[in-house]
Amino acid sequence: MDVLRDYEDDSFDLIITSPPYADSRDKTYGGIKPDEYVDWFLPRAAEMLRVLKPTGTFILNIKEKVVQGERHTYVLELILALRKQGWLWTEEFIWHKKNCYPGKWPNRFRDAWERCLQFNKHKKFKMLQDEVRVPMGEWATARLKSLGKNDVVRFDSQVGSGFGKNIANWVNRELAYPTNVLHLATETGNKRHSAAFPSALPEWFIKLFTEPNDWVLDPFAGSGTTCEVAQKLHRNSVGIEILPAYCELSRVRLREGTMLLFDEGLTHDASDNSRNNGVYRAEYSGIPSP
Ligand SMILES: C[S@@+](CC[C@H](N)C(=O)[O-])C[C@H]1O[C@@H](n2cnc3c(N)ncnc32)[C@H](O)[C@@H]1O
Protein backbone atom coordinates (compact mmCIF):
# COMPACT_ATOMS: atom_id res chain seq x y z
CA MET A 1 0.00 0.00 0.00
CA ASP A 2 2.87 2.34 0.91
CA VAL A 3 4.92 1.58 -2.20
CA LEU A 4 2.00 2.07 -4.59
CA ARG A 5 1.39 5.56 -3.21
CA ASP A 6 4.56 6.62 -5.06
CA TYR A 7 3.06 5.69 -8.43
CA GLU A 8 0.99 8.03 -10.53
CA ASP A 9 -2.62 7.36 -11.44
CA ASP A 10 -3.13 5.16 -14.53
CA SER A 11 0.41 3.72 -14.54
CA PHE A 12 -0.16 0.03 -15.27
CA ASP A 13 -1.69 -2.00 -18.08
CA LEU A 14 -2.04 -5.20 -16.07
CA ILE A 15 -2.05 -6.06 -12.40
CA ILE A 16 -1.70 -9.78 -11.81
CA THR A 17 -1.16 -11.25 -8.40
CA SER A 18 -1.66 -14.07 -5.98
CA PRO A 19 -2.04 -12.40 -2.58
CA PRO A 20 -1.43 -14.13 0.74
CA TYR A 21 -4.38 -16.44 1.21
CA ALA A 22 -6.44 -16.09 4.34
CA ASP A 23 -4.85 -17.76 7.34
CA SER A 24 -2.90 -20.22 5.24
CA ARG A 25 0.87 -20.48 5.31
CA ASP A 26 1.06 -18.27 8.39
CA LYS A 27 4.35 -19.94 9.29
CA THR A 28 6.02 -18.43 6.23
CA TYR A 29 4.63 -14.92 5.89
CA GLY A 30 1.76 -14.31 8.25
CA GLY A 31 -1.83 -15.09 7.43
CA ILE A 32 -4.84 -12.80 7.53
CA LYS A 33 -7.90 -14.18 9.31
CA PRO A 34 -10.62 -15.18 6.83
CA ASP A 35 -13.17 -12.96 8.61
CA GLU A 36 -10.81 -9.98 8.31
CA TYR A 37 -9.69 -10.62 4.74
CA VAL A 38 -12.00 -8.18 2.94
CA ASP A 39 -11.14 -5.30 5.29
CA TRP A 40 -7.44 -6.07 4.85
CA PHE A 41 -7.64 -6.26 1.05
CA LEU A 42 -9.84 -3.25 0.27
CA PRO A 43 -7.40 -0.38 1.01
CA ARG A 44 -4.81 -2.15 -1.14
CA ALA A 45 -7.33 -2.67 -3.92
CA ALA A 46 -8.14 1.07 -3.78
CA GLU A 47 -4.51 1.85 -4.62
CA MET A 48 -4.56 -0.76 -7.40
CA LEU A 49 -7.68 0.82 -8.85
CA ARG A 50 -5.95 4.18 -8.88
CA VAL A 51 -2.72 3.02 -10.56
CA LEU A 52 -4.42 0.84 -13.20
CA LYS A 53 -4.93 2.46 -16.60
CA PRO A 54 -8.55 2.87 -17.75
CA THR A 55 -7.88 0.18 -20.39
CA GLY A 56 -6.12 -2.09 -17.91
CA THR A 57 -7.03 -5.39 -16.26
CA PHE A 58 -6.61 -6.77 -12.75
CA ILE A 59 -6.25 -10.56 -12.36
CA LEU A 60 -6.61 -11.88 -8.83
CA ASN A 61 -5.55 -15.49 -8.28
CA ILE A 62 -7.27 -16.64 -5.09
CA LYS A 63 -9.11 -19.59 -3.57
CA GLU A 64 -11.20 -19.70 -0.42
CA LYS A 65 -10.19 -22.21 2.22
CA VAL A 66 -12.31 -24.60 4.20
CA VAL A 67 -13.08 -23.39 7.72
CA GLN A 68 -14.85 -25.73 10.11
CA GLY A 69 -16.07 -28.01 7.37
CA GLU A 70 -17.43 -25.26 5.12
CA ARG A 71 -16.00 -23.22 2.29
CA HIS A 72 -15.47 -19.75 3.75
CA THR A 73 -17.26 -16.96 1.88
CA TYR A 74 -14.52 -14.30 2.03
CA VAL A 75 -13.71 -14.52 -1.67
CA LEU A 76 -17.37 -14.09 -2.57
CA GLU A 77 -17.62 -11.18 -0.11
CA LEU A 78 -14.46 -9.70 -1.60
CA ILE A 79 -15.95 -9.78 -5.11
CA LEU A 80 -19.03 -7.89 -3.88
CA ALA A 81 -16.89 -5.40 -1.95
CA LEU A 82 -14.61 -4.77 -4.95
CA ARG A 83 -17.65 -4.07 -7.11
CA LYS A 84 -18.80 -1.50 -4.54
CA GLN A 85 -15.31 0.00 -4.66
CA GLY A 86 -15.73 0.68 -8.37
CA TRP A 87 -14.33 -2.41 -10.08
CA LEU A 88 -16.25 -4.31 -12.74
CA TRP A 89 -16.12 -8.07 -12.16
CA THR A 90 -15.66 -8.93 -15.81
CA GLU A 91 -14.77 -12.61 -15.81
CA GLU A 92 -13.71 -15.58 -13.77
CA PHE A 93 -11.07 -17.93 -15.14
CA ILE A 94 -10.46 -21.30 -13.59
CA TRP A 95 -6.92 -22.49 -13.16
CA HIS A 96 -7.21 -26.28 -13.29
CA LYS A 97 -4.15 -27.73 -11.58
CA LYS A 98 -3.39 -30.70 -13.75
CA ASN A 99 -1.00 -32.33 -11.31
CA CYS A 100 -2.45 -31.61 -7.87
CA TYR A 101 -1.43 -33.87 -5.03
CA PRO A 102 -3.50 -37.00 -4.45
CA GLY A 103 -5.32 -37.11 -1.13
CA LYS A 104 -8.45 -38.26 0.69
CA TRP A 105 -10.77 -36.32 2.98
CA PRO A 106 -13.93 -37.67 4.62
CA ASN A 107 -16.32 -35.14 3.07
CA ARG A 108 -14.67 -33.65 -0.02
CA PHE A 109 -12.32 -34.42 -2.87
CA ARG A 110 -8.92 -32.93 -3.47
CA ASP A 111 -8.72 -29.30 -4.51
CA ALA A 112 -7.71 -29.15 -8.16
CA TRP A 113 -8.59 -25.59 -9.13
CA GLU A 114 -8.19 -21.95 -8.17
CA ARG A 115 -9.98 -18.82 -9.22
CA CYS A 116 -8.40 -16.16 -11.42
CA LEU A 117 -10.85 -13.31 -11.05
CA GLN A 118 -10.77 -10.60 -13.70
CA PHE A 119 -11.65 -7.04 -12.76
CA ASN A 120 -11.65 -3.94 -14.95
CA LYS A 121 -12.27 -0.23 -14.60
CA HIS A 122 -14.29 0.01 -17.79
CA LYS A 123 -16.16 -2.32 -20.12
CA LYS A 124 -13.74 -1.54 -22.93
CA PHE A 125 -10.31 -2.84 -22.00
CA LYS A 126 -7.24 -3.97 -23.92
CA MET A 127 -7.56 -7.65 -24.88
CA LEU A 128 -5.40 -9.36 -27.52
CA GLN A 129 -7.35 -12.56 -28.00
CA ASP A 130 -5.29 -13.77 -30.98
CA GLU A 131 -2.20 -13.98 -28.77
CA VAL A 132 -3.60 -16.91 -26.78
CA ARG A 133 -5.19 -18.97 -29.55
CA VAL A 134 -4.77 -22.72 -29.23
CA PRO A 135 -4.53 -25.53 -31.78
CA MET A 136 -7.97 -26.75 -32.83
CA GLY A 137 -6.95 -30.23 -31.72
CA GLU A 138 -8.93 -33.42 -31.57
CA TRP A 139 -12.28 -31.74 -31.02
CA ALA A 140 -12.03 -30.26 -34.48
CA THR A 141 -11.07 -33.54 -36.12
CA ALA A 142 -14.02 -35.36 -34.60
CA ARG A 143 -16.64 -32.61 -34.74
CA LEU A 144 -15.91 -31.10 -38.11
CA LYS A 145 -15.74 -34.45 -39.89
CA SER A 146 -19.49 -34.88 -39.51
CA LEU A 147 -21.08 -31.48 -40.03
CA GLY A 148 -24.87 -31.66 -39.82
CA LYS A 149 -27.36 -29.28 -41.44
CA ASN A 150 -27.52 -27.23 -38.25
CA ASP A 151 -23.82 -26.63 -38.49
CA VAL A 152 -23.57 -25.07 -41.92
CA VAL A 153 -26.14 -22.35 -41.30
CA ARG A 154 -26.16 -20.14 -38.23
CA PHE A 155 -27.92 -22.20 -35.60
CA ASP A 156 -29.66 -20.14 -32.96
CA SER A 157 -29.70 -21.69 -29.55
CA GLN A 158 -32.63 -24.05 -29.02
CA VAL A 159 -33.19 -22.63 -25.57
CA GLY A 160 -33.86 -19.26 -27.15
CA SER A 161 -30.88 -17.57 -25.55
CA GLY A 162 -30.20 -15.67 -28.76
CA PHE A 163 -26.67 -17.06 -28.96
CA GLY A 164 -25.85 -18.86 -32.14
CA LYS A 165 -22.99 -20.80 -33.61
CA ASN A 166 -21.79 -21.52 -37.08
CA ILE A 167 -19.43 -24.41 -36.75
CA ALA A 168 -18.70 -24.46 -40.48
CA ASN A 169 -16.77 -21.21 -39.96
CA TRP A 170 -14.09 -23.22 -38.20
CA VAL A 171 -13.40 -25.66 -41.05
CA ASN A 172 -9.76 -25.52 -42.20
CA ARG A 173 -8.70 -23.33 -39.31
CA GLU A 174 -5.78 -24.42 -37.25
CA LEU A 175 -6.21 -22.17 -34.25
CA ALA A 176 -9.21 -21.51 -32.05
CA TYR A 177 -9.88 -19.22 -29.12
CA PRO A 178 -9.39 -20.88 -25.75
CA THR A 179 -11.99 -21.32 -23.03
CA ASN A 180 -11.90 -19.65 -19.64
CA VAL A 181 -10.44 -22.81 -18.08
CA LEU A 182 -6.64 -22.92 -17.99
CA HIS A 183 -5.20 -26.41 -17.64
CA LEU A 184 -1.77 -25.77 -16.14
CA ALA A 185 0.46 -27.92 -13.99
CA THR A 186 1.73 -26.51 -10.72
CA GLU A 187 5.49 -26.19 -10.68
CA THR A 188 6.43 -28.69 -8.02
CA GLY A 189 10.14 -28.04 -8.54
CA ASN A 190 9.93 -24.44 -7.20
CA LYS A 191 11.92 -24.59 -3.99
CA ARG A 192 12.18 -20.84 -3.87
CA HIS A 193 8.71 -19.99 -2.60
CA SER A 194 6.09 -22.07 -0.83
CA ALA A 195 3.22 -20.62 -2.88
CA ALA A 196 4.67 -19.66 -6.26
CA PHE A 197 2.36 -19.91 -9.24
CA PRO A 198 3.62 -21.53 -12.47
CA SER A 199 5.18 -19.16 -15.00
CA ALA A 200 2.55 -20.25 -17.51
CA LEU A 201 -0.15 -18.52 -15.47
CA PRO A 202 1.14 -14.91 -15.63
CA GLU A 203 2.43 -15.64 -19.14
CA TRP A 204 -1.05 -16.37 -20.44
CA PHE A 205 -2.57 -13.23 -18.92
CA ILE A 206 0.36 -10.98 -19.88
CA LYS A 207 0.02 -12.10 -23.52
CA LEU A 208 -3.74 -11.63 -23.43
CA PHE A 209 -3.88 -8.21 -21.77
CA THR A 210 -0.62 -6.42 -22.66
CA GLU A 211 1.69 -5.60 -25.55
CA PRO A 212 5.50 -5.31 -25.54
CA ASN A 213 6.66 -2.26 -23.53
CA ASP A 214 3.46 -2.16 -21.48
CA TRP A 215 3.64 -2.07 -17.70
CA VAL A 216 2.79 -5.04 -15.45
CA LEU A 217 2.43 -4.91 -11.67
CA ASP A 218 2.51 -7.73 -9.14
CA PRO A 219 1.85 -6.20 -5.72
CA PHE A 220 2.48 -9.53 -3.89
CA ALA A 221 5.43 -10.62 -5.98
CA GLY A 222 6.82 -13.50 -3.90
CA SER A 223 9.70 -15.09 -5.78
CA GLY A 224 9.22 -12.75 -8.75
CA THR A 225 7.50 -15.12 -11.20
CA THR A 226 5.38 -12.34 -12.75
CA CYS A 227 8.35 -9.99 -13.21
CA GLU A 228 10.49 -12.74 -14.71
CA VAL A 229 7.82 -13.65 -17.25
CA ALA A 230 7.18 -9.97 -18.02
CA GLN A 231 10.88 -9.50 -18.67
CA LYS A 232 11.01 -12.48 -21.04
CA LEU A 233 8.00 -11.09 -22.91
CA HIS A 234 9.59 -7.61 -23.16
CA ARG A 235 7.16 -5.90 -20.83
CA ASN A 236 8.19 -3.55 -18.04
CA SER A 237 7.34 -4.75 -14.58
CA VAL A 238 7.13 -3.69 -10.98
CA GLY A 239 7.06 -6.25 -8.20
CA ILE A 240 6.34 -5.41 -4.59
CA GLU A 241 7.14 -7.90 -1.86
CA ILE A 242 7.18 -7.47 1.89
CA LEU A 243 9.80 -10.08 2.78
CA PRO A 244 13.38 -9.00 1.97
CA ALA A 245 14.48 -12.60 1.31
CA TYR A 246 11.91 -12.96 -1.48
CA CYS A 247 12.92 -9.56 -2.92
CA GLU A 248 16.49 -10.76 -3.11
CA LEU A 249 15.40 -14.00 -4.75
CA SER A 250 13.51 -12.05 -7.39
CA ARG A 251 16.42 -9.76 -8.03
CA VAL A 252 18.75 -12.70 -8.63
CA ARG A 253 16.21 -14.30 -10.94
CA LEU A 254 15.80 -11.08 -12.90
CA ARG A 255 19.48 -10.37 -13.15
CA GLU A 256 19.90 -13.76 -14.85
CA GLY A 257 17.16 -12.78 -17.30
CA THR A 258 18.85 -9.47 -18.05
CA MET A 259 22.02 -11.33 -18.99
CA LEU A 260 20.00 -13.46 -21.39
CA LEU A 261 18.41 -10.41 -22.96
CA PHE A 262 21.83 -9.09 -23.81
CA ASP A 263 23.01 -12.37 -25.30
CA GLU A 264 24.39 -12.23 -28.81
CA GLY A 265 21.77 -12.46 -31.49
CA LEU A 266 19.31 -10.24 -29.66
CA THR A 267 19.02 -6.63 -30.70
CA HIS A 268 18.32 -3.74 -28.40
CA ASP A 269 17.90 -0.12 -29.33
CA ALA A 270 20.00 1.53 -26.63
CA SER A 271 19.22 4.98 -28.01
CA ASP A 272 15.56 4.56 -27.09
CA ASN A 273 15.60 5.68 -23.49
CA SER A 274 11.99 6.72 -23.49
CA ARG A 275 10.92 3.11 -23.17
CA ASN A 276 12.22 0.19 -21.28
CA ASN A 277 12.39 -1.97 -24.37
CA GLY A 278 13.55 -5.40 -23.32
CA VAL A 279 15.47 -4.10 -20.33
CA TYR A 280 14.24 -5.03 -16.91
CA ARG A 281 13.51 -2.32 -14.41
CA ALA A 282 11.69 -3.12 -11.21
CA GLU A 283 11.28 -1.34 -7.95
CA TYR A 284 10.90 -3.14 -4.67
CA SER A 285 9.86 -1.85 -1.34
CA GLY A 286 12.91 -0.23 0.18
CA ILE A 287 15.27 -1.44 -2.51
CA PRO A 288 16.31 0.93 -5.33
CA SER A 289 15.75 -0.22 -8.88
CA PRO A 290 18.73 -1.98 -10.45
C1 LIG B 1 1.06 -16.24 -2.69
S2 LIG B 1 2.58 -15.43 -2.48
C3 LIG B 1 2.99 -14.89 -4.12
C4 LIG B 1 3.82 -15.88 -4.88
C5 LIG B 1 4.21 -15.43 -6.26
N6 LIG B 1 3.07 -15.40 -7.15
C7 LIG B 1 5.30 -16.33 -6.85
O8 LIG B 1 5.10 -16.91 -7.91
O9 LIG B 1 6.36 -16.46 -6.20
C10 LIG B 1 2.14 -13.94 -1.69
C11 LIG B 1 3.31 -13.05 -1.32
O12 LIG B 1 2.80 -11.84 -0.76
C13 LIG B 1 3.75 -11.37 0.19
N14 LIG B 1 3.07 -10.39 1.05
C15 LIG B 1 2.28 -10.61 2.12
N16 LIG B 1 1.80 -9.45 2.61
C17 LIG B 1 2.30 -8.48 1.80
C18 LIG B 1 2.15 -7.08 1.77
N19 LIG B 1 1.39 -6.44 2.68
N20 LIG B 1 2.78 -6.37 0.81
C21 LIG B 1 3.55 -7.02 -0.11
N22 LIG B 1 3.74 -8.35 -0.12
C23 LIG B 1 3.11 -9.07 0.82
C24 LIG B 1 4.22 -12.62 0.89
O25 LIG B 1 5.47 -12.44 1.53
C26 LIG B 1 4.26 -13.64 -0.26
O27 LIG B 1 5.55 -13.77 -0.79
CB 238 within 8 A of CB 214: no
Given a cut of 90, whether residue 189 has pLDDT beyond it is: no
Q: Verify whether ligand 1 is closer than 6 Å to residue 229 (CB atom).
A: no
CA–CA distance, 13 with 86 (Å, rounded to integer): 17
**DSSP label at residue 147:** -
Condensed to tens digits (0 to 9), the pLDDT of residues 47-105 reads 999 999 999 999 999 999 888 889 999 999 999 999 999 999 999 999 999 988 778 88
pLDDT-derived band of residue 170, with 50, 70 and 90 as boundaries? confident
Q: How far apart are CA 241 and CA 287, in angstroms?
A: 10
pLDDT at residue number 137 = 74
pLDDT beyond 80 at 280 = no
Minimum CA distance residue for ligand 1 atom 15: 20
- State which amino acid sits at residue 33: K
Mind listing the pLDDT tens digit for each residue in 7-19?
A: 999 999 999 999 9
Say yes or no: CB of residue 200 within 6 Å of ligand 1. no
Higher-scoring residue by pLDDT: 166, 197: 197
Radius of gyration, alpha carbons of the chain: 21
Closest ligand 1 atom number to CA of residue 193: 9
Q: What is the pLDDT of residues 129-157, one digit of tens each?
A: 999 999 887 667 777 777 777 776 666 66
What does the alpha-carbon distance between residue 64 and residue 148 come to, in Å, rounded to a whole number?
A: 43
Parse the chain into domains and list their residue ranges. Answer: 4-133+178-261, 137-176
Q: Is 115 helix (H, G, I), strand (E, B) or coil?
A: strand
Backbone angles phi, psi at 260, to 5 degrees: -65, -40
* 32: Cβ contacts below 8 Å, ≥ 6 apart: 20, 22, 23, 40
| pLDDT (mean) for 105-114 | 90
What mean pLDDT is predicted for residues 156-182? 78
Distance CA 108, CA 138 (A): 32
- pLDDT of 282 reads 36
Nearest CA to ligand 1 atom 17: 242
Report the pLDDT averaged over residues 200-209.
98
Specify the pLDDT at position 262. Answer: 62
**How many Å lie between the centroid of ligand 1 and the Cα of residue 242?**
7
Q: Class assignment of domain 4-133+178-261?
A: alpha beta
250 lines ligand 1 (CB under 6 A): no
Q: Is the CB of 284 under 6 A from ligand 1?
A: no
Q: Is the CB of 201 under 6 A from ligand 1?
A: no
20 CA from centroid of ligand 1 (Å): 6
10, with CB counted inside 10 A (0-12, 13-18, 19+), is middle
Residue 117: CB atoms within 10 A of its CB come to: 19
Write down the pLDDT at residue 206.
Answer: 98
Atom of ligand 1 nearest to the CA of 246: 27
Neighbours of 201 (CB within 10 A): 25
Can you tell me which atom of ligand 1 is nearest the CA of 19?
10
What pLDDT is recorded for position 155?
Answer: 67
Atom of ligand 1 nearest to the CA of 243: 25
- For 220-243, the pLDDT digits (tens) are 999 999 999 999 999 999 999 999
Strand partners, 52: 12
Q: What DSSP letter does each residue of 79-100 carry, written as one string?
A: HHHHHHHT-EEEEEEEEEETTP
Mean pLDDT of the chain: 84
* Count, residues in the chain: 290
